[in-house]
Structure 1
Amino acid sequence: MIWLHLLVVLGAIFLGARLGGIAIGFAGGLGVLVLAALGVTPGDMPLDVISIIMSVICAIAAMQMAGGMDYLVGLAEKILRRNPKHLTFLAPVITYLMTFMAGTGHTAFSTMPVITEVAKENNIRPSRPLSVAVVASQIAITASPISAAVVFFASVLEPEGVGYLELLAIAIPSTFLACMLTAGVMMAIDRMNPHSALEHDPVYQERLARGAVRLRGEQVTQLRSGARTSVLIFLVGLLAVMSYATAISDKVGLVTEPVMGRDQAIIAFMLTIAAAIVVLCKVHPSDILGAPTFKSGMSASICVLGVAWLGTTFVTAHRETIEGFAGGVLQDQPWMLAVVLFFAAALLYSQAATAKALMPTALLLGVAPAAAVAAFPAVSALFVLPTYPTLLAAVEMDDTGSTRIGKYVFNHPFLLPGVLAITFAVILGFLIGGVVL
């Protein structure tokens, strides 16, 4: 029956990918229903992960409606325009840091127009900085102290003797350095290609000839009075979350009997941040419901709910079979876990959903905690199929046509930098983990 159940899971995932957007979550729920009809007991619902995502999105959306996102994008634009020659390096730095701070890769949407315009103005194909920036925004999820994927993974690692701080100590440098190495490789490829400049792109020339490409120039946005205050409130809240998580850590032991667990603390702090921004920055609560980040974040929550629940249901039902088949392989070759996570993430469309579905089983199979931490960045392989929202947004925002999806689907500009970034991050994870753990 395992093959029939696997067929149901894959069928639901492919249906969701075909429909796109929030329908991925709907298809996950359909898959659970079909499995239940076949006699499979549904697994645990990922309500802990969903709760964290929703609370973080509320804080981000409140900051956006207060003008905080406009303020951050304005800073990013100034940095990029002052250093256009280093755009391929600076673009992923900015998207990485915004995701690291916010715990969601959807913040990349706001920086894509800036990256595109600076590239056009300097005869750089926007596809290069955009592709690396999108990959950086995805992989940074595995290093963000408030992302649902990191918080969940930390909770399953702690019984294995690896704490929240140790996870971050490995994940942050390994993923950031991986993004920079990827940017360096992509720049080297461009320099070896005499026709890499934007002016040599035939699609761009065709669009330019018919007036479909425009330069908007540097934008001056009138900031709301509470824009800077909202960013400050969010940063203070982020530091509070990290400080509390540090204080209650078994490794530090400042608070031996905490009133709140880490998950509860993150949810409480994020909702408090949203409340503080609403009060101090005079944001109307109803406006938050219409914020772009709120809509995309809630859509992501439904996707995680359906897909992670489907994955957990299948894995739980066939745990013994999976252990017998994969246990020995993963123990002897722990790097194979990164390969498994890579392909699972390409189908599950969520770092949190992939971690929730597979990481506990991997540890039960005997994968060493250090190897699991090193493989963790592979849950960010959301770029394989060119249907993820940030990837599609990059394609749509590049009016030069250089960021395009080929007729063979997989020949798109995000695949190579994505594979490189995850490969570098996993290798660095093993190296840094050997020192930290």
Structure 2
Amino acid sequence: MDFVLILQIIVLLGAIFVGIRLGGIGIGYAGGIGVVILGLCLGMKPGSIPWDVILIIMSVIAAISAMQLAGGLDYLVQIAEKILRSNPKYINFLAPTVTYFLTILAGTGHTAFSMIPVIVEVAKEQNIKPSAPLSIAVVSSQIAITASPVSAAVVYMTGVLEPLGWSYPTLIGLWLVTTFAGCMLTALIITLFADLDLSKDPVYQERLAQGLVKPSVGVQNKELKPGAKLSVGIFLIGVLLVVLYATAISKVGGKPVLIENVIVPRDAAIMSFMLGVATFITIFCKIEVGKVADTSVFKSGMVACVCVLGVAWLGNTFVGGYTNEIKTLAGDWVKAVPSLLAVIFFFAAMLLYSQAATAKAITPVVVAALGISATNPGDAYMLVASFAAVSALFVLPTYPTLLGAVQMDDTGSTRLGKYVFNHAFLIPGILAIAFSVAFGFIASALI
């Protein structure tokens, strides 16, 4: 390892560390500074900016923001709260189920924010440490990105895998089943083996004595806006159209399902459909478009775009400078032990802070290293099975929904440790990804 490489690694990790310390959008800012230093001071050519990922995130966020302004998210939260309160003793299973399917629908894990206060309330009422359902719910909201038909990560990976013989419906179905099963098995293990008794938590007792724990307020029947249900209906129709169109242009056995001459590719279709959804919600639900930018979803979504821009650009710059070396190393490792691809995805996601950015940075290198092509698609199953591992955004305790769970749990059971990694989300996250990947290898082998 030469001196320049050591400096480049220091800049890469240093920029990420500074971004983590700044928090939120700061990781995107610091990523841009890292690119400048690598380019101007250390001679690395700036990598590609993942514009398609950013634009898909922006278009989906635009539609969800319009739905939120119309009251649609409040309506979905009411439905989810009824589900959680209908069987409160099963909160460890229902909480991740709700956040999982909200993410599947919306294509962003930030929808979990709206459910965190409800999960805390229901857990307290059952004398269950909120850290248990919260940790699984937050992790599930991240892993579900790899099964959402409107997420940038899925759009990218299906585009890579379709020419290799994997049809869009097959991939969506496989990822839905394996990731949900992984999350539910994790919930079962946490329920069976974790200490769930809230009354025995010393931090909770201390906060309770100080009057820092709020009493339960029960079901919140917030009055819905007139267009709330309609906005959800329009959004659901938009998601359904995305799935139908993506299926229609996909290929099964090398032949297109319905549309042979594809004029509008899948990523462009998703962007246009989502902007169309936002347009119809604006017209029929009579929202004020000037207030869309004030919604919490819009703000968090634009923060996510800047984070992807900065940190993914930084990662692509470094990876691009050592593509041949990474190809050789990754090829040797993955050929020897296929499951190591999941480990590579896991650690890359931990640093790149985005499922889509991770997939886009690592997948081309692995495809080239293994010699995967349309005429030699044999090892493509490794990509299918390992895809869930790009969701390791929980390792560093900096992701917004993770921090939100810590801040909103007034019992103090969901907390960060002194040593960065010893937090409530690490073990559930590792288990959920490990199970999802294991199920992925089993399912892809059967298919």
Q: What band does the TM-score fall into relative to the shorter chain?
A: over 0.9
Q: Which amino acid aligns with 1:379?
A: V
Aligned match of 1:414 in 421, 425, 442? 425
Whole-angstrom distance in 2 between the partners of 1:43 and 1:397: 38
The partner residue of 1:22 within 12, 22, 25 is 25
Q: CA deviation at 1:364?
A: 1.1
Aligned-pair CA distance for 1:218: 1.5
Distance in 2 separating the partners of 1:73 and 1:147: 21
Question: 2:157 maps to what in 1?
Answer: 153
Tell me what 1:369 maps to. 380
The CA deviation at 1:306 is: 1.1
TM-score by length of 1: 0.97
Query: What is the alpha-carbon distance in structure 1 between the residues aligned to residue 310 and residue 284 of structure 2?
Result: 36
- Correspondence for 1:82 among 57, 82, 86: 86
Partner of 1:178, secondary structure, is helix
What is aligned with 1:245?
A: 246
> 3-state SS of the aligned residue for 2:294?
coil
1:387, distance to aligned residue in structure 2 (A): 1.2
Per the alignment, residue 183 of structure 1 pairs with: 187
Q: What is the deviation of 1:409?
A: 2.1
- Structure 2: 5+ residue runs without aligned partners? 373-378
**Aligned counterparts of 1:318 and 1:164: Cα–Cα separation in 2:** 32
Q: Give the corresponding residue for 2:404.
A: 393
Equivalence map 1:296-307=2 (5 Å): 296-307=300-311
| In 2, Cα distance between equivalents of 1:376 and 1:336 | 12
1:36-185 alignment, distance < 5 Å: 36-37=39-40, 38-185=42-189
Aligned to 2:444: 433
Are the counterparts in 1 of residues 71 and 225 from structure 2 also a CA contact under 8 Å? yes
In the TM superposition, residue 163 of structure 1 has moved relative to its aligned partner by 3.1
Q: How many matched pairs?
A: 432
Letter in 2 for 1:210: Q
Shift of 1:183: 0.3
8 Å contact kept, 1:174–1:429: yes
Moved more, 221-230 or 334-343: 334-343
Partner secondary structure for residue 251 of structure 2? coil
Q: Equivalences for 1:332-411 in 2 at 5 Å?
A: 332-366=336-370, 368-411=379-422
Whole-Å separation in 2 of the counterparts to 1:221 and 1:128: 27
Secondary structure in structure 2 of the residue aligned to 1:365: helix
Stretches of 4+ aligned residues off by more than 6 angstroms? none
Q: Check if 1:10 corresponds to 2:21.
A: no
Deviation at 1:164, TM superposition (A): 2.5
Structure-2 separation of matches of 1:121 and 1:221: 20
Aligned-pair distance for 1:31? Answer: 1.3
2:376 alignment counterpart? none
Q: Distance in 1 between matches of 2:384 and 2:16?
A: 26
Letter in 1 for 2:79: L
Between the aligned partners of 2:316 and 2:442, the Cα distance in structure 1 is 31
| Aligned partners of 2:88 and 2:126 also within 8 Å | yes
Work out whether 1:34 is the aligned partner of 2:25: no
Moved more, 165-174 or 19-28: 165-174
Q: In 1, Cα distance between the equivalents of 2:446 and 2:320?
A: 34
User: How much identity, in percent, do the aligned residues show?
Assistant: 57
CA RMSD of aligned residues (A): 1.2
Partner of 1:266: 270
The amino acid that maps onto 1:240 is: L
Q: What is the CA distance between 1:49 and its match in structure 2? A: 0.6
Residue identity matched to 2:38: L
Q: Specify the alignment match of 1:213 in structure 2.
A: 213
| Alpha-carbon contact 1:338-1:378 (below 8 Å) kept | yes
Offset of 1:325 from its aligned partner?
A: 2.6
Query: Is the contact between residue 60 and residue 106 of structure 2 (CA under 8 Å) also seen in structure 1?
Result: yes
Amino acid at match of 2:33: L
Contact 1:106 1:296 in 2 (8 A): yes
SS in 1 for 2:362: helix
CA contact (8 A) 2:238 2:273 kept: yes
Tell me by how many angstroms 1:7 deviates. 2.4
* 3-state SS of 1:59 partner: helix
8 Å CA contact 2:162, 2:250 repeated in 1 = no
Which letter maps to 1:27?
A: A
Amino acid at match of 2:235: F
Instruction: Give the drift of 1:283.
Output: 0.8
126-135 vs 155-164, which moves further: 155-164
Q: Is the contact made by 2:330 and 2:366 (CA closer than 8 Å) also made in structure 1? A: no
Amino acid across the alignment from 1:30: I
Shift of 1:317: 1.7
How far apart in 2 are the matches of 1:24 and 1:153? Answer: 25
The Cα offsets for residues 267-310 of structure 1, whole Å up to 9 and x where unpaired, read as 00000000111111111101110010100000001111111111
Contact 1:331–1:365 (8 Å) recurs in 2:
no
Please give the per-residue CA displacement for 1:24-60, whole angstroms capped at 9, x wherever unaligned: 1111111111111122211221101100000000001
Query: Match for 1:323 among 305, 327, 330?
Result: 327
> What is the CA-CA distance between 1:243 and the residue it aligns to?
0.4
Q: Structure 1 residue 156: deviation in Å?
A: 2.0
Contact 1:308 1:356 survives alignment (8 Å): no
Between the aligned partners of 1:409 and 1:276, the Cα distance in structure 2 is 45
Conserved in 2, the CA contact under 8 Å of 1:104 and 1:147? yes
Q: Structure 1: state its 5+ residue gaps.
A: none
Compute the displacement of 1:157 (Å).
Answer: 2.0
Query: Does the Cα contact within 8 Å between 1:62 and 1:278 map onto a contact in 2?
Result: yes
User: Offset at 1:326?
Assistant: 2.7
What TM-score does the superposition give when structure 2 sets the normalisation length? 0.95
Counterpart of 1:311? 315
> What is the one-letter code of the residue matched to 2:12?
V
